[in-house]
Amino acid sequence: MVVVIVALIMVIILQLKNITLGLRVISLTNLIVEKKNVYGVERVYPVCNKAKILTALTGNKTLLDVDIKLIKQLGYTLTTKREEI
């Protein structure tokens, strides 16, 4: 009985991992960031709430290369913010 419940939970988690809204697919493990060039140095700023929370844990306002590497090891993907005109 416990095995069946665990299997059902795993199926639900896999189905919830990607939620489709219209033609856009929003991944629950996707973080949206924005790259800015500040005095010749490329900085990565958080845009979405999850990215802001993870950045706050680092104690910085931006994500460093080391932070990005660790975040990717947790299973997250980083996507840059779309340019708006």
Can you give the pLDDT of all 85 residues of the chain as single tens digits?
655 566 667 656 655 555 555 445 556 788 899 999 999 999 999 999 989 999 998 899 999 999 999 989 988 899 987 766 6
pLDDT of residue 28: 73
Q: Are 47 and 38 a contacting pair, CB within 8 Å?
A: no
At 7 the three-state DSSP class reads helix
Q: Residue 68 is inside which H or E element, if any?
A: helix 65-73
Do residues 42 and 34 lie in contact, with contact meaning Cβ atoms separated by under 8 Å? Answer: no
Domain chopping of the chain, boundaries: 20-80
Q: What is the largest CA-CA distance in the chain?
A: 60
**pTM as predicted:** 0.64
Q: CA end-to-end span of the chain, whole Å?
A: 55
